[in-house]
């Protein structure tokens, strides 16, 4: 095996592992958001998320900031998009959705992100899509539906679409757009500086929104809420975005997006561990289909 082949294999393996780490963290994000949804609005949850992420990222970004600031200003339009739309707005939609949309519906709709990444990459960047990727994605998406509905597809006949469903679809679309557009940022800068800048933009946009809508700044009500807020600020934002962005750099947005199908699988696992839910035959079938679909996508290269 040549050195070039070895390096490509390492990049492929590391990229997939980082993408998987991000999905594990985001699976827990749904649980944290559900804990906070009863006491906080979407704007309040988003406020704490980006404030905490901004604070914790700053010490790591500080030493690289001076040399990378010129490139940030050079690409200021993209940075406004990444921070304002990719981080703040997409997550604000997600945090508002639980007030009117069931968690099952939200998770299924968010699972459309990988397909949207394929479609948007094809539209905007003329990226060729391997047919096996489409087949694997469809299998994984069906597996997500089986997993979350426990095989009871009559649920889909009883769905009453609310504004929360559309907010979730909006989040899925903007998250896909954020992921594929990372390739537009041509400058090689430190990832901590990049993320700190997007977090600052997300927080300032959130803070401005609070002022515009005359909403009081949020207050933490309990230790449980504080733990959930720390989770979405440190792990769902800082750690997960580092893993996700680095994975996209290594293996591309489409391949990274495919791993996102594993979010409901990990979410179901957490539900069993944390809230003592049981696993039935349909959850096993659905989870197996998701894993099979991801493997089909992962094992076939794009030519």
Count other C-beta atoms under 10 Å from residue 209's C-beta.
Answer: 16
Per-residue pLDDT tens digits for 115-146: 888 888 888 888 887 788 888 888 888 888 88
Q: Tell me, what's the pLDDT at 301?
A: 58
pLDDT above 80: residue 157:
no
pLDDT averaged over every residue in the chain? 84
CA gap 191, 195 in Å, rounded = 6
* Alpha-carbon distance values, 172 to 114, 212, 216, 217 (Å): 9, 26, 28, 27
Tokens, residue 88: 């703040």
Count other C-beta atoms under 10 Å from residue 288's C-beta.
Answer: 14
Tell the burial category of 162 from Cβ atoms under 10 Å away from its Cβ (0-12, 13-18, 19+).
Answer: middle
Local confidence band at 303 (pLDDT 50, 70, 90 cut-offs): very low
* Torsion region of 104: left, alpha or beta (phi above 0 gives left; psi -120 to 50 gives alpha): alpha
Check if the beta carbon of residue 127 is closer than 8 Å to that of residue 254: yes
Local confidence band at 300 (pLDDT 50, 70, 90 cut-offs): low
Per-residue pLDDT tens digits for 206-253: 999 888 877 777 778 788 888 889 999 999 999 999 999 999 999 888
Among 87, 109, 94, CA closest to 30: 94
The domain segmentation of the chain, as residue ranges, is 3-299
Per-residue pLDDT tens digits for 33-87: 777 877 788 788 888 999 999 999 999 999 999 899 999 999 899 999 999 998 9
Task: Map the chain to HEC letters.
Answer: CCHHHHHHHHHHHHHHHHHHHHHHHHHHHHHHHHHHHCCCCHHHHHHHHHHHHHHHHHHHHHHHHHHHHHHHHHCHHHHHHHHHHHHHHHHHHHHHHHHCCCHHHHHHHHCCHHHHHHHHHHHHHCCCCCHHHHHHHHHHHHHHHHHHHCCCHHHHHHCCCCHHHHHHHHHHHHHHHHHHHHHHCCCCCCHHHHHHHHHHHHHHHHHHHHHHCCCCCCCCCCHHHHHHHHHHHHHHHHHHHHHHHHHHHHHCHHHHHHHHHHHHHHHHHHHHHHHCCCCCHHHHHHHHHHHHHHHHHHHCCCC
């Amino acid at each position: 095996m040549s050195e070039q082949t070895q390096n490509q294999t390492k990049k492929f393996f590391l990229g997939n592992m980082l993408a998987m780490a991000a999905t594990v963290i985001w699976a827990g994000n749904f649980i944290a958001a559900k804990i906070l949804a009863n006491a906080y609005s979407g704007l309040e949850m988003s406020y704490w998320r980006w404030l905490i992420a901004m604070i914790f990222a700053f010490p790591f970004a500080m030493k690289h900031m001076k040399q990378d600031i010129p490139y940030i200003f050079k690409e200021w339009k993209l940075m406004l998009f990444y921070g304002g739309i990719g981080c703040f707005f997409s997550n604000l939609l997600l945090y508002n959705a639980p007030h009117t949309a069931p968690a099952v519906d939200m998770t299924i709709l968010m699972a459309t992100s990988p397909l949207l990444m394929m479609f948007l990459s094809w539209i905007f960047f003329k990226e060729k899509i391997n047919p096996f990727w489409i087949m694997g994605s469809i299998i994984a998406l069906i597996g997500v539906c089986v997993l979350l509905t426990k095989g009871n597809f009559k649920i889909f006949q009883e769905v009453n679409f609310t504004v929360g469903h559309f907010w979730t679809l909006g989040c899925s679309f903007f998250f896909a757009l954020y992921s594929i557009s990372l390739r537009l940022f041509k400058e090689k800068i430190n990832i901590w500086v990049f993320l700190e800048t997007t977090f600052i933009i997300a927080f300032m946009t959130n803070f401005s929104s609070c002022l515009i809508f005359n909403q009081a700044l949020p207050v933490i009500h309990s230790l449980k809420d504080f733990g959930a807020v720390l989770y979405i600020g440190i792990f769902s934002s800082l750690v997960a975005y580092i893993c996700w962005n680095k994975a996209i750099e290594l293996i591309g947005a489409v391949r990274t997006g495919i791993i996102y199908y594993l979010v409901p699988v990990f979410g179901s696992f957490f539900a069993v561990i944390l809230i003592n839910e049981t696993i039935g035959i349909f959850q096993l079938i659905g989870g197996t289909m998701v894993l099979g679909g991801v493997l089909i996508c992962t094992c076939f290269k794009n030519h």
